[in-house]
């Protein structure tokens, strides 16, 4: 790449940083209007979602992958919430404030800083409280990465997991899920079996090959009845049937991510 291009991109990066202040102000304005019940709630939400989505793509393009990840988590938060009430809106404000703080430094955080920042992010809980607000109950945030197409099924499973106290991050494709898992560091991955790009089993095998993800339990969700041929032993399976909720719950308990074991894990 020529020196001139590097120079031009450096200037554009600076312009992006300056422009992002306006974009964040715009999101703040939308949030304030929703808080104060001014104008159309739907239109304000739509505008806010557009700005957040745009920030996710542009920040990553300019090298701010942490901001891109926070924006992705914010989209997940908004999708997993049944309806954003006042505490939920305050959480959205926290996400925006954290994005603003990172961009104000003008520097992409290193890995340790990024982990600390991501740990600060609010998560949806049963009562609509953040994990921090109920820390007296020693609840440890457990992040579930769901790899599924958008749709009612994903929304239902995601919402149920959130109502049980998990934080949920969504990915629509296996390829995207690989990068996302490295950034959000989930404690468990739930994935569909069927995708066009690669199967859920192939995805599990990719995660097994990556040092940072090899220990993350992988749960395959499938509507296929009976045993799946050539299923590697490190993959858990939950069948999408009438007993799906029970099967998933049992699997999460077995993994120590739910129930009494979860409470023990959270006391550290």
Partner 1 sequence: MPTVLVVDDDIDMQNFVSTIAKAVGCETDVVASGQEAIDALTAKMTDIAFVDLNMPGMNGWDTVKAIRALPGGDGCKIIVLSGQNTMHDREDAHEAGCDRFVDKPVTPEKIIEVIQAFS
Min CB(246)–partner 1 separation in Å: 30
CB of 97 to partner 1, least distance (A): 21
Site residues (vs partner 1, CB under 8 A): 1-2, 4-5, 8-9, 12, 15-16, 19, 50, 53-54, 56-62, 65, 68, 149-150, 172-173, 176, 195-197
Structure tokens given for 116: 């600390």
Q: Which of 58/90 has CB closer to partner 1?
A: 58
Give the nearer residue to partner 1 in terms of CB position, either 77 or 195. Answer: 195
CB-CB contact of 77 with 92 (8 Å): yes
CA 110 to chain centre: 19
Angle, helices 41-61/86-105, rounded to nearest 10 degrees: 30
Nearest distance from residue 154's CB to partner 1, in Å? 12
Q: With respect to partner 1, which residue has the nearer C-beta, 141 or 172?
A: 172
**What minimum distance in Å lies between the beta carbon of 206 and partner 1?**
17
Query: Order of strands across the sheet with 167-171?
Result: 167-171, 143-147, 188-192, 218-222, 235-239
Query: Minimal distance in Å, beta carbon 35 to partner 1?
Result: 24
Nearer Cβ to partner 1 (65/163): 65
Neighbours of 105 (CB within 10 A): 10
* Residue 148 contacts residue 192 (beta carbons within 8 Å): yes
Residue 92 in contact with residue 73, Cβ under 8 Å?
Answer: no
Nearer to partner 1, 7 or 243 (CB): 7
Token pair 């991955």 is found at 189
Q: Of 201, 197, 169, give the one whose Cα is nearest residue 185.
A: 169
Nearer residue to partner 1 within complex by CB, 133 or 176: 176
- For the chain, give the longest Cα–Cα distance: 61
- H or E element: which one contains 68? helix 65-80
Residue with tokens 């891109």: 68
In the complex, what is the shortest distance from the CB of residue 19 to partner 1, in angstroms, rounded to a whole number?
Answer: 6
């Amino acid at each position: 790449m020529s020196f001139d291009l590097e120079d031009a991109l450096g200037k554009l990066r600076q312009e992006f940083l300056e422009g992002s202040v306006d974009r964040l102000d715009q999101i703040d304005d939308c949030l304030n209007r929703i808080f104060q019940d001014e104008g159309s709630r739907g239109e304000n939400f739509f505008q806010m979602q557009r700005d957040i989505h745009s920030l996710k793509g542009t920040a990553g393009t300019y090298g701010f992958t942490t901001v891109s990840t926070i924006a992705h988590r914010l989209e997940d938060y908004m999708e997993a919430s049944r309806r954003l009430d006042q505490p939920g809106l305050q959480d959205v404000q926290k996400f925006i404030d954290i994005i603003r703080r990172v961009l104000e430094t003008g520097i992409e955080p290193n890995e340790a800083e990024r982990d600390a920042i991501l740990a600060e992010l609010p998560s949806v809980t049963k009562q609509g409280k953040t994990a921090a607000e109920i820390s007296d109950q020693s609840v440890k945030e457990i992040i579930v990465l769901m790899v599924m197409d958008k749709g009612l099924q994903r929304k239902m499973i995601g919402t149920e997991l959130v109502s049980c106290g998990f934080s949920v991050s969504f990915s629509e494709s296996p390829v995207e899920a690989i990068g996302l898992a490295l950034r959000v560091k989930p404690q468990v991955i739930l994935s569909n079996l069927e995708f066009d790009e690669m199967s859920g089993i192939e995805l599990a095998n990719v995660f097994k090959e990556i040092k940072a993800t090899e220990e993350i339990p992988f749960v395959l969700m499938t509507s296929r009845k009976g045993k799946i041929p050539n299923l590697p032993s490190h993959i858990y399976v939950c069948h999408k049937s009438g007993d799906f909720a029970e099967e998933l719950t049992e699997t999460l308990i077995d993994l120590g991510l739910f129930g009494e074991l979860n409470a023990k894990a959270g006391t550290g």
